[in-house]
Amino acid sequence: MASDESYAIMQELMAAQGAGEPLVLATIVKARGSVPRHIGTKMLIYGDGRSSGTIGGGEMEARVRKEAETAMQNGQATSLTYSLVDPERGDPGVCGGEVEIFIEPYLAMATVFIVGCGHVGKAVADLAHWLGYRVVVTDDREELATPTHIPHADIHLPGTIDNALAQYAVTSSTFVVVVTRNVLVDRKILPHLITTPAPYIGVMGSRRRWETTLTMLREDGLSDEDISRLHCPLGLELNAESPEEIAVSIMAEVIMLRRHGHGGRMALGPKMFDGS
């Protein structure tokens, strides 16, 4: 593979990572006999199906694309070996050789997108930063969504939720934490968040406040399917009181969902599952 082609692919990979766009890098790591491309050939496959570069085209490349979809879902790298000899036995080509392709997912950086920069929002930003997440904060009270007020946020987006979402693209690696001051604010912002690919949209509030919010959202035309994407009250039950303790509860739930945990006490072992 020509060095300028490889350099261009790697530059594109770095740019996509900087923009928070998930993608997969496919690289030919072994090649024997007659093959369409050789060791070092690279190809990028994006989450929306776009690609850059080619590892040979045809049926083999189509199969790699399918494997890339799986890699983006489970985050696992894998190696694929293809013989290019006999299509009748299932080979993806007739060149006569064999290739091994390494599939490596580059997922978007895990981000906590905090809506509301009051006491709890600030505490969540501090803790999420300490935990290694990218932190994005927004608030319509523009004087709060600032580096002075929340120094540990990576991105500050003062203004409306429309403005925030126009400037920052929420991805499947973005965990949204809504910690606003009242139900009227939630009523305005939640419909915009539901349309994003965020895997988690947590909303702070008592159960009574949430019932009021639900009534308003249904009046505004949101379906039960839309509302099912919202988690309220957010966080794990820790009987937390201070903003810092509430932040621990919220980030514990984010970590649990991201790492596919169950949220139980580890010291209890299997008992937590059988109710004993």
Selected residue with higher pLDDT from 269 and 252: 252
Q: E-assigned strands of the chain?
A: 23-32, 42-46, 51-52, 78-83, 98-106, 111-115, 134-139, 155-158, 174-178, 200-203, 230-231
pLDDT of 209: 94
Can you list the domains of the chain with their CATH numbers? 3-8+18-106 (no CATH), 111-266 (3.40.50.720)
Q: If you average pLDDT over residues 4-16, what whole number do you get?
A: 90
Secondary structure of residue 165 in the 3-state scheme: helix
pLDDT at 235 over 90: yes
Pairing status of strand 23-32 against strand 98-106 = antiparallel
pLDDT digits (tens, 9 = 90+) for 143-177: 999 999 999 999 999 999 999 999 998 988 899 99
Average pLDDT, the chain: 88
Which residues, in sequence order, are CB contacts of 258 under 8 Å at separation 6+?
110, 175
What does the alpha-carbon distance between residue 19 and residue 53 come to, in Å, rounded to a whole number? Answer: 20
pLDDT digits (tens, 9 = 90+) for 67-80: 998 888 788 899 98
pLDDT digits (tens, 9 = 90+) for 116-127: 999 999 999 999
Selected residue with higher pLDDT from 198 and 99: 198
pLDDT of 86: 47
pLDDT at 201 over 60: yes
Which of 39-43, 106-110, 171-175, 228-232 tops mean pLDDT? 228-232
User: Residue 275: pLDDT band by 50, 70, 90 thresholds?
Assistant: very low
pLDDT of 1: 42
Share of the chain above pLDDT 90, in %: 63
User: Residue 274: pLDDT band by 50, 70, 90 thresholds?
Assistant: very low
pLDDT at 31 over 90: no
